[in-house]
Structure 1
Amino acid sequence: MASDDAPKSASRDGDAPIARAVTINRPRAELYAYWRDFAKLATFMENVERIEVIDEKRSHWVVKAPAGSTVEWDAIVTEDDPGALIAWVSGDGADVPNSGRVEFRDAGQRGTVVTATIDYDPPAGIVGKVIAKLFQREPAIQARRDLRRFKQLMETGEIATGARNRREHEERDA
């Protein structure tokens, strides 16, 4: 599978963490710096409504969930190795308890391999996972899509969308 398809790099068995990776043709330090500015993450993370940076270690996330609802949590940075790694855990009272890490590794002349690993506890357990998948809001699906959008943004300065094509189809079918 091509690297821009954000291949699965770890299996999802039960409650095992989800890991996705993509190779981006940009320097590691540049990609890390963009990601570390948490307020910018909403520019490519499709379901993130907003991220409010509280301080260097904490941020408040508001994310779209199935059926038009939102979920919120405070994320706390637990490890920060400039240019290489950012790890976090959600604070007490999170709607969706989660933790994870984003790693940046040199890929020679191809750029940087960015790997996002996410572990989460969805509301309503397995039922919540099934509903989230039906609405395409499940983190395994979103991680792949978000990494692909991050790659597009970092390599081209924009994110390709099908918005015009959808609108044209809707107008033609009306």
Structure 2
Amino acid sequence: MITSEIGMASTKEQTSIEPIASGSSRTNVGTTERIISTTVGALLTYYGLRKPTLGRLLVATFGASLLHRGTTGYCYVNNAIGRNTAGRDTDAINMSSTVTINKPRAEVYKFWRQLENLPQFMHHLEKVTQIDNRRSHWSAPVPGGIGKVAWDAEIVEDRENECIMWRSVPGADVDNAGEVRFKDSIDGKGTEVHAIIKYQPPAGYLGETVGKLFNPAFKKMVKNDLRRFKHLMETGENFVVPHPTAKHTGSDPNSVQETQEFQGTLHS
């Protein structure tokens, strides 16, 4: 059985670890300043590019920086001097799913703890490289093949056969955190795995829109991750279900289906 939930971090379902807000997911500019920055920035950028000269290009550059400040809600100068008029960072999105696996808890924990195994069932990940016992480097393709994102993560809590918690370090392309808990199933013959993934979308109006748009697709991904994990642990084989699109390409049907669902979400 697999169950899943999604919501903001302020909901009843919470983890004991939060992503560290850094870079694009952090706001330090208040609403009024953002409106002014966006308006003035747009005007200066337009003025500077309408009849380009060296002086006007400098004006356009300054306008672009104001435009970025207004749309993202983040100001590098504010950060440098410790000024924050925003009041709060963006809320983290919280996704969770639970699955029961017919394998001993120690075996299930050991496989997950070897973080380089994660891309075998988390197909939105490209690669995880363990740097040392606690730090690792993660990379993932951006849907649509337009690039990649990467980040370093650290394990902040590790209780053998019980719990693993990790989070990205400051400066990550995507601020995120995760937690997976292992406990014996009710019948004592397997392991109940409860995974929670959190991420913080980019700050500002764009980030708010991105968060609302992508949430359904991310929810489906987490649920499918655990479904594949269950199949992999119980059979030793990657989870494959016939799908017409992937039949003759050699690609993973689940990845193809998830990509279609993700792209469908973007166009709905």
Global fold match (TM > 0.5): yes
Q: TM-score with structure 2 length normalisation?
A: 0.55
Higher strand share: 1
AA at the equivalent of 1:128: V
> Please, which of 228, 238, 247 is the counterpart of residue 149 of structure 1?
228
> Please, which of 12, 29, 36 is the counterpart of residue 7 of structure 2?
12
Q: Deviations over 1:99-141 (max 9, x none)?
A: 121100110334111011111112342322345358x4x2x22
For 2:239 and 2:155, the matched residues in 1 are separated by 30
- Preserved contact between residue 65 and residue 132 of structure 1 (Cα < 8 Å): no
For 2:223 and 2:181, the matched residues in 1 are separated by 15
Partner of 1:149, secondary structure, is: helix
Partner of 1:17, secondary structure, is: strand
Moved over 3 A (4+): 13-16, 130-134, 162-165, 167-170
1:66 Cα shift? 2.4
Tell me the percent identity: 39
Partner of 1:48: 125
For 2:243 and 2:220, the matched residues in 1 are separated by 23
For 1:77 and 1:42, the matched residues in 2 are separated by 17
Q: Pairwise mapping of residues 80-95 of structure 1 onto structure 2 (< 5 A)? A: 80-95=158-173
- How large is the RMSD of aligned CA atoms in angstroms? 2.2
For 2:244 and 2:231, the matched residues in 1 are separated by 19
Higher helix share: 2
Q: 1:168 to 1:29 in 2, by over 3 A?
A: closer
- Preserved contact between residue 36 and residue 86 of structure 1 (Cα < 8 Å): yes
For 1:169 and 1:54, the matched residues in 2 are separated by 37
- Preserved contact between residue 93 and residue 199 of structure 2 (Cα < 8 Å): no
Q: Does 1:66 align with 2:61?
A: no
Q: Pairwise mapping of residues 1-174 of structure 1 onto structure 2 (< 5 A)? A: 3=1, 6-8=2-4, 10-13=5-8, 15=92, 17-68=94-145, 69-107=147-185, 108-123=187-202, 124-132=206-214, 136=217, 138=218, 140-162=219-241, 165-168=244-247
- Preserved contact between residue 120 and residue 238 of structure 2 (Cα < 8 Å): no
Relative to structure 2, which stretch is displaced further, 83-92 or 60-69? Answer: 60-69
Structure 1 residue runs of 5 or longer lacking an equivalent are none
- Preserved contact between residue 11 and residue 18 of structure 1 (Cα < 8 Å): yes
1:167 Cα shift? 4.3
Q: 1:168 to 1:99 in 2, by over 3 A?
A: closer
Q: TM-score with structure 1 length normalisation?
A: 0.83
From the CA coordinates, give the structure whose radius of gyration is larger. Answer: 2
Partner of 1:21, secondary structure, is: strand
Q: 1:109 to 1:73 in 2, by over 3 A?
A: same
Partner of 1:35, secondary structure, is: helix
